[in-house]
């Protein structure tokens, strides 16, 4: 095993961490404006993970390899899963905010829409 107990953590940081860095590097003004919303999403995500993860582990819905994780549990949830939840919820909230801002900027007025589809009344 190349990364051993760091495998899961490394995967999280590489995939979710890079996404967050790209989002915040390209759209800092938008994301800073909505930082409180991202924070709320993060808190809700952590709480939902702390509720769902221990239940899923106890019921055997999924499990983790002791060779690829630290084996540290916080309130019954795997530490790496909490880190994963934090990264993913921030990445998704950021992408959603960026996307909604992009769509809002592209909205057309009724007149512009009619002109675009060929109705000139």
The string of DSSP letters for 23-70 reads HHHH-HHHHHHTHHHHHHHHHHHHHHHHHHHHHHHHHTS----TTTS-
Q: Which two tokens stand for residue 113?
A: 């829409």
Q: What is the DSSP letter of 4?
A: G
Q: Which helix (H) or strand (E) holds 73?
A: strand 73-74
Rounded Cα distance between 104 and 101, Å, is 5
Q: What domain range includes position 99?
A: 4-117
Q: Looking at the 3D structure of the chain, how many domains does it have? A: 1
85-97: pLDDT as tens digits: 999 999 999 999 9
pTM: 0.78
Instruction: Identify the top-confidence range among 15-24, 34-43, 96-105.
Output: 34-43
Cα–Cα nearest to 57, from 72, 81, 77, 75: 77
């Amino acid at each position: 095993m190349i990364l051993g107990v760091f495998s899961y953590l490394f995967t999280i940081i590489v995939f979710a961490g890079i996404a967050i860095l790209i989002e915040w590097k390209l759209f800092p003004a938008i994301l800073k404006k909505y930082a409180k919303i991202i924070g709320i999403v993060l808190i809700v995500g952590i709480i939902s993970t702390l509720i769902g993860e221990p239940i899923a582990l106890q019921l055997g819905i999924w499990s983790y390899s002791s060779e690829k994780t630290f084996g540290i549990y916080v309130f019954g949830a795997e530490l790496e899963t909490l880190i994963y939840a934090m990264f993913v919820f921030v990445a998704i909230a950021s992408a959603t905010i960026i996307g909604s801002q992009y769509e809002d900027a592209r909205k057309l007025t009724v007149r512009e829409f009619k002109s675009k589809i060929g109705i000139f009344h």
